């Protein structure tokens, strides 16, 4: 009886460990945020006849392709991930999954995601989403990450695409307005990432990854973060100026940007890595609240 019970416990434990490993290679929290920004793209797009089911199908499609991109990043980066304290517990480094299992998983969810986009969105949305996958999983991970400290600036375009993907899934048109939302995430990415890279500089140095704080020093990276935070504050005003969003959005954006500028400036004059991590964590709340405010603004106006 006891042997039977422990066999079931063992099977259940193994299955849940494998399930967690598959989930973790998808970078679920990042993907959730990407899907949220795509949803804002859908909500802000001009009125269409599409039902909520089609919108949900499109969001699941974008989420699955993003998760596939994240899984491919885990596969291709596994040797480097082994050298860094932050990443050495990852499923492929710990042999919780084989490379073959991870590839099969990534391709299955990726192809399923594209099919959902073709079914619930349109071919242009599917094409742009595949381009974003390629931009992150191949161009950034394989080429840019080792070769230039501007890696995350250029590669950041892929992660900034979801609002445009959401908009195009509604309209089938590449109009100018959603590019403003892309520009917001694009200018947000450098301070988001360099804050973490400053705190984990030795990790990146050990793994030989030429992140800006490693190649150009901490103080210069902090200065660059300040420059991007100013640019970000300016870009955030644009949706209001072109009439895409209203006063509610503008007020929230101003408060968030003043706070972000304050934090990066404090970081500039401070030297402990704790404040760098605080900026990193704040950057995530910032994006969540900013896109949340775009969403609410559209609903109330």
Ligand X SMILES: CC(C)=CCC/C(C)=C/CC/C(C)=C/COP(=O)(O)OP(=O)(O)O
Minimal distance, residue 222 CB to ligand X, in Å? 19
**How far is C-alpha 222 from the geometric centre of its chain's CA atoms?**
21
**How far is C-alpha 297 from the geometric centre of its chain's CA atoms?**
23
User: Pick from 55, 73, 187, 189: which binds ligand HEM (CB under 6 A)?
Assistant: 189
| Exposure string for 185-202, b = 16+ CB within 10 A, e = fewer | bbbbbbbbbbbbbbbbbe
Angstrom CA distances, 38 to 56, 220, 251, 277, stand at 11, 33, 22, 26
The DSSP annotation for 109-174 comes to HHHHHHHHHHHHS-HHHHHHHHHHHHIIIIIIIIIIHHH-TTHHHHHHHHHH-HHHHHHHHHHSS-
Site string (97-136) toward ligand HEM, x via CB under 6 A:
----------------------------------------
Minimal distance, residue 65 CB to ligand X, in Å? 5
User: Pick from 128, 152, 224, 264: which binds ligand HEM (CB under 6 A)?
Assistant: 152
Verify binding: residue 196, ligand HEM, rule CB under 6 A: yes
Verify binding: residue 30, ligand HEM, rule CB under 6 A: yes
Minimal distance, residue 58 CB to ligand HEM, in Å? 17
Verify binding: residue 294, ligand HEM, rule CB under 6 A: no
User: Of the ranges 14-22, 92-100, 106-114, 190-198, which one interacts with ligand HEM (CB under 6 A)?
Assistant: 190-198
Q: How many residues bind ligand HEM (CB under 6 A)?
A: 18
Choose among ligand HEM, ligand X, none what residue 174 binds, the Cβ cut-off being 5 to 8 Å by kind.
none
């Amino acid at each position: 009886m006891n042997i039977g019970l422990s066999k079931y416990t063992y099977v259940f434990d193994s299955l849940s460990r494998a399930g967690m490993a598959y989930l973790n290679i998808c970078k679920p929290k990042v993907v959730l945020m990407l899907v949220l920004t795509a949803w804002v793209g859908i909500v802000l797009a001009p009125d269409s006849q599409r039902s909520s089911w089609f919108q949900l199908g499109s969001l699941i499609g974008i989420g699955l392709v993003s998760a596939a991109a994240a899984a491919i990043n885990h596969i291709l980066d596994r040797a480097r991930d082994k050298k860094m304290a932050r990443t050495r517990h990852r499923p492929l480094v710990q042999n919780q999954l084989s490379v073959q299992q991870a590839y099969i998983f990534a391709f299955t969810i990726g192809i399923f995601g594209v099919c959902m986009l073709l079914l619930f969105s349109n071919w242009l949305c599917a094409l742009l989403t595949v381009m974003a996958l390629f931009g992150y999983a191949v161009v950034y991970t394989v080429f840019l990450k080792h070769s230039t400290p501007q890696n995350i600036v250029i590669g950041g375009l892929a992660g900034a695409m979801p609002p445009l993907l959401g908009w195009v899934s509604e309209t089938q048109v590449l109009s100018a307005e959603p590019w403003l939302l892309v520009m917001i995430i694009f200018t947000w990415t450098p301070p988001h990432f360099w804050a973490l890279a400053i705190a984990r500089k030795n990790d990146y140095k050990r793994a030989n990854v030429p992140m800006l704080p490693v190649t150009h020093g901490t103080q210069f990276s902090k200065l660059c973060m300040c420059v991007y935070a100013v640019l970000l504050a300016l870009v955030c005003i644009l949706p209001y100026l072109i009439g895409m969003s209203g006063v509610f959005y503008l007020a929230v954006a101003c408060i968030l940007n003043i706070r972000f500028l304050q934090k990066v400036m404090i970081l500039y004059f401070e030297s402990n890595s704790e404040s760098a991590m605080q900026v990193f964590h704040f950057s995530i709340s910032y994006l969540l609240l900013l896109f949340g405010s775009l969403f609410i603004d559209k609903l109330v106006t």
